[in-house]
Amino acid sequence: MSPRPDHTATAPEASEAREATEALGVPAPPSAPAAPGTPAASAAPSAHPRPGATLAVTSAATAVALMTYTAPMITLPDTAASLHTPLSAQAWLLNGTPLGLAALLLVAGSLADDYGRRRIFLAGTVALGITTALGALAGSTWLFTLARVAQGAASAAILAASLGLLVHAFPAGPGRIRATGIWGAFVSGGIALGPVLAGGIATLANWRLSYVVLGAAALLVAAFAPRALTESRAPHSGRPDLAGALALGLALVALVAALTLGRDGWLRTPVAALLLASAVLIAAFVAVERRSASPMLDLALLRQAPFLASSAGGFFTGFAVIALFSYLPTFLQQTLPMSAMATAVLLMIWSGTSFAVALQTRRLAGKVSPRHQLALGFALHAAAVLTMLTAVDAGPWPLLLPGLVISGAGSGLLNAALPQLAVASVPADRAAMGSGANNTARYIGSAAGVALMIAVSTSTDSLAHGAQVALVVSAALGAAGALSVLALRGRGR
């Protein structure tokens, strides 16, 4: 997929985009000529986007998507008991949504760029409302997991299209940096509110009602979106890359299944077969993308350090940070022990700090590049979780507070820097693809990481000792994330 001019880009905006991209610490994409005989101004699907309304609606939808994602963190014990889910299968209750996200984010980004970001965003928001409400009706582990996968697919459309809509609404420069920072803060805000909402509703009624409420919230956002958003797309449409989406989705299913089954023995034949199948399917995905006229992922970007840094940052955010805090509430409820609501409030200290820090990162623009923000965020997370080792064993819970605050600050830096780098590391007209690739890496890491955290935490005689092992693993992965993004320095395109 070669870089293509955006319908909505004007010459001054292209110049601003180049200057702002270079200010972010990554090389600017090359400019491309407009289509022959087509004036740039007349090519735009909508000449007057509404920046404030676009930011409000995309941020609200993103927050609801992340609230849906994090809701099971607190209610996992109740949900597992209600659905009669064995311990070995509980990873699927958490991994359904990240699996749907990872499998469809790239194709959602491609569809958004080619067929309209507003259109894909609206479809995703409505679908999220319906599938989330249906999750409340599930009567078995597999039905609930399927509903969660569908929620992830709908969330993929929201997340992939949101950054494309923001790029269209905000010219390159400080305004765009501020907008992506606020959008990243609402990622943290959704993570913060999801467990509190689910825990509070579960305390007053039951865990199922929280999904009804979240479904209604998504549909409410969908009702406001048509008037608030304006359409934008890349100039040349392409066919959906269904073969690539199928290969990637099956590869992820095989990988997560292998990690889930691995807790009962990593050398068993089924685990090895699933890992081999995942590797073969990933190779098939690469082969499909090389031959496709409209690939989900332009493989040439894999030779560019900024894109690799964006992808590595997303992957280790999911693998080291999101995975740990997806399962930490269950650790705390079973080892300290704490109630679901108390755990949700404690987790909000982490995610609330993340939200506050992400909002303030705009002050770092021009001083600290997104790549260095990522490295600092990973380093803070690695140091923070090591301070929590004693507390998860025997408590008391106040010993967790310093680590939660420090890791929350690191998470805020990650959530603010990732969308900036995702947009800046791809051609200007492929913003949704950049968002899709970055978030795909994030939720691949999350899906694999949750399964890994459950595997290592249940591999010892004591759950408390298993929690300590999981913290050490998360710290090591955070350090690896910092080193990877520092190593990927881009000098030119």
* ω into 337 cis (within 30 of 0): yes
Structure tokens at 480: 């690896």
Query: Encoding tokens for residue 147?
Result: 């509903």
Amino acid sitting at position 438: N
Q: What is the residue type of 145? A: T
Nearest to 156 by CA among 445, 448, 433, 451: 433
User: Buried b / exposed e across 312-343, counting CB within 10 Å, b at 16+?
Assistant: bbbbbbbbbbbbbbbbbbbbbbebbebebbbb
For position 37, what pLDDT does the model report? 37
Q: Helix axis angle, 207-228 relative to 117-135, nearest 10°?
A: 160
Q: What is the pLDDT of residue 11?
A: 39
- The pLDDT assigned to 209 comes to 94
pLDDT on residue 39: 34
Rg from Cα positions in the chain = 21
In whole angstroms, give the CA distance from residue 403 to residue 409.
10
Name the one residue in this structure whose structure tokens are 């609330």. Answer: 352
Task: Name the nearest CA neighbour of 390 among 405, 400, 382, 402.
Answer: 400
Phi and psi (nearest 5°) for 162? Answer: -60, -50
pLDDT for res 219? 96
Question: Is residue 84 left, alpha or beta, with left meaning phi > 0 and alpha meaning psi from -120 to 50?
Answer: left
- Cα 210 to Cα 64: distance, rounded to the nearest angstrom: 12
Residues of the chain with pLDDT under 70: 1-47, 88, 235-240, 260, 262-265, 394-395, 428-429, 490-493
**CA nearest 1: which of 312, 290, 425?**
290
Vertex 188 angle, CA 186 and 189, to 5°? 60
For residue 451, how far is the Cα from the chain centroid?
17
3-state secondary structure of 206: coil
**Sheet strands (E) in 165-243:** none
Report pLDDT for 21.
Answer: 38
**Residue 398: count of CB within 10 angstroms of its CB:** 9
Tokens (6 digits) for 352: 């609330």
- The identity of residue 364, as a single letter, is L
pLDDT the model gives residue 10: 40
Is the separation of the CB atoms in 350 and 401 below 8 Å?
no
Cα–Cα distance, 19 to 25 (Å, whole number): 10
Q: What is the DSSP string of 170-196?
A: S-TTHHHHHHHHHHHHHHHHHHHHHHH
Number of H helices, E strands in the chain: 19, 0
Verdict on whether the full-model pTM lies above 0.95: no
* 232 half-sphere exposure, CB direction, 13 A CA radius: 29
